[in-house]
């Protein structure tokens, strides 16, 4: 396992992604280790985006269920707030992608 490295994300970026869905919390990935662990849990290619996330060429956002506290979905978002993809465990597509896209568009305004 690679060494643990924190992703240095500015607070104003972190604050963009809170409280948009009533049942979920938006969280930016905090470290390379967290991205690897969630990718392993989801059995998908999320770990392949670690270098881009560390260089902030993409942001990895997690949707954490407020009741279970489990991360249920991961999203790849560009610095320009374009949603590239959103998947859950075993590449389960995020059903609320259109709603998330709307939220991200609103953030741009």
Residue 4 included in any domain: no
Domain tally for the chain?
1
Residue 2 included in any domain: no
Residue 5 included in any domain: no
Range of the domain at 21: 11-108
Residue 28 included in any domain: yes
Per-residue pLDDT of the chain (109 residues; tens, 9 = 90+): 555 677 666 655 555 545 556 788 888 999 999 999 999 998 888 999 999 999 999 999 998 988 999 999 899 988 888 888 888 876 666 554 444 544 444 444 3
Contact assessment for residue 42 and residue 36, using Cβ atoms and an 8 Å cutoff? no
Q: What are the DSSP E strand ranges found in the chain?
A: 24-28, 59-65, 71-77, 83-88
Q: What pLDDT is recorded for position 104?
A: 47
Residue 3 included in any domain: no
Q: Is the pTM of this model over 0.85?
A: no
């Amino acid at each position: 396992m690679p060494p643990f490295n924190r992703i240095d994300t500015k607070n104003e970026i972190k604050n963009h992604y809170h409280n948009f869905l009533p049942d979920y919390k938006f969280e930016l990935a905090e470290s390379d280790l967290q991205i690897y662990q969630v990718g392993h849990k989801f059995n998908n290619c999320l770990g392949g985006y670690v270098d881009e996330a560390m260089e902030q060429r993409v942001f990895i956002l997690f949707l954490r269920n407020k009741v279970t506290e489990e991360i249920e979905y991961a999203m790849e978002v560009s610095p320009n707030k374009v949603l590239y993809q959103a998947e859950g465990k075993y590449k389960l597509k995020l059903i609320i992608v259109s709603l998330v896209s709307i939220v991200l568009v609103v953030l741009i305004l």
